[in-house]
Amino acid sequence: MSTAADILKPLPGVIEPRWWPGEEVLPPTSYTIDGSGYAMKESDLAEDSALSRRMNQVFDDVGLVWLRNTGLTDLQSMRRFAKLVVENEMRYEGGANPRDDLEPNVYEVGAPLTAWLHYHHEMAYVSHSTRMLAFLGNKAIAGKGATYVSDNLQVTDAILATEFGQKLKELGLCYHRNLTDREQFRDRDPIGVYNHWQKSMLTDDPDEAMETARSRGLDVEWGANRLLKTRYYISAFEYFPQLDRNVLYSSVADDGMWFDTWPNVMHLPFSERPLALTFGDGTAMTRAEKQQFVDVYDRFGLPVDWADGDVLIVCNYRFAHGRPGIHLEDHEERELGVLIGEAYERIGDVDGKW
């Protein structure tokens, strides 16, 4: 039986991300825009404004836009500027792990602040993913609570140069998710809970949940205590039309490692954690392979040190994102809003586009 102390204590042998090499992997001038050079008023929100043209050019060229020194003080104002690039916002559909609303069309991060979040591509574990997302720096602490992004074009080249990368290319992946039943925890502490199927599938009806899961490309079955077990088989890579090439589109974030510092879950052995990531033939990754998976993203990472009013727009193909755990003092606040961009149907890799 787990004790309260066990629930807060990570298991031994945890692989901790390093996040970045400590030096620039991209020149900041290539993706940073100084908002103090613009009025940051209604005129800048026009589709043909100088700021709009600049943001879209940087996004097209790099896949990353960091709008700084904006003077913006509320989420909806930040959202409007993010939408100069993020034209088609996506509402969460069944099958994903939905986030709660901070405000209309602005979501919260969806994870405990104290947990580190491994580098990942948003919604890689279902057939409906997103092309881009934006983060809004509503409450920031200078020098604390940075987000990290990793240059996925360099990551892809590096992983494909390894035996592990070639194995990923050959075998693909299977994403395993076990979603608990909310009714089983109505009068219990949420020990071991990541996400209930009712929230993920946006229904209380088991038959509708199964139908929704299958519509998202998932194999699905029921386990004990109405545990919804889903499996998704797909390439570890995704074809990126803009550059006409396959890019890495997977990470250990979809493995049990995601929960290494997650309260109420990190004490569980891997066999009991809600997520697992295997090769497409069902074989497990070795610890050394998982270490490679972590290291390759860390090697090409860079920090985004938030200030109030910052807007960060990220191409989901060209960059992965993540962050260390954040531990605040009583007087400190850190809050990011999230916009999810246009949805698309995953196709995996394309022959001859390596």
Beta strands in the chain (DSSP E): 32-34, 64-68, 101-103, 106-107, 117-120, 128-130, 132-139, 147-151, 173-179, 219-222, 228-234, 237-240, 245-248, 275-279, 301-304, 311-315, 319-323, 335-340, 343-345
| Residue 275: partners with Cβ closer than 8 Å, 6 or more residues away | 175, 176, 177, 178, 194, 254, 255, 256, 258, 259
How does pLDDT run across 90-124, given as a tens digit for each residue? 766 666 666 566 555 565 667 888 999 999 999 99
Instruction: Please give the torsion angle defined by the CA atoms of residues 293, 18, 317 and 343, in that order, rounded to the nearest 10 degrees.
Output: 100
| CA–CA distance, 208 with 337 (Å, rounded to integer) | 30
| pLDDT reported for residue 190 | 81
| Residue 154: partners with Cβ closer than 8 Å, 6 or more residues away | 25, 299, 300
Task: Say if residues 196 and 334 touch (Cβ distance below 8 Å).
Answer: no
Tokens at residue 228, please? Answer: 């919804």
| CA–CA distance, 240 with 190 (Å, rounded to integer) | 39
Task: Say if residues 259 and 14 touch (Cβ distance below 8 Å).
Answer: no
Q: How close are the terminal C-alpha atoms of the chain, in Å? A: 49
| Residue 3: partners with Cβ closer than 8 Å, 6 or more residues away | none
Stretch 50-70: mean pLDDT, rounded?
Answer: 98
Q: What is the pTM of this model?
A: 0.92
- Tell which residue, 204, 287, 208, has the closest CA to residue 252: 287
The mean pLDDT value of the chain amounts to 91
129 strand-pairing partners: 344
Element (H, E) at 201: helix 197-201
Residue 32: phi and psi, rounded to 5, are -100, 135
Residue 315 burial (C-beta neighbours within 10 Å; 0-12, 13-18, 19+): buried
In 3-state terms the chain splits into helix, strand, coil percentages (rounded to 5) of: 30, 25, 45
Could you tell me which CATH number the domain at 24-345 has? 3.60.130.10
- What string of DSSP letters covers 92-109? --BTB----EEETTEE--
What angle is formed at CA 135 by the lines to CA 29 and CA 255, rounded to 5 degrees?
105
Question: Between 343 and 3, whose confidence is greater?
Answer: 343
| pLDDT reported for residue 192 | 79
Instruction: Please state, in angstroms and as integers, the Cα–Cα distance from residue 91 to each residue in 96, 181, 317, 340, following that order.
Output: 11, 23, 19, 7
| pLDDT reported for residue 102 | 58
How does pLDDT run across 127-144, given as a tens digit for each residue? 999 999 999 999 999 889
How does pLDDT run across 3-25, given as a tens digit for each residue? 444 444 555 689 999 999 999 99
| CA–CA distance, 286 with 278 (Å, rounded to integer) | 10
| CA–CA distance, 46 with 48 (Å, rounded to integer) | 5
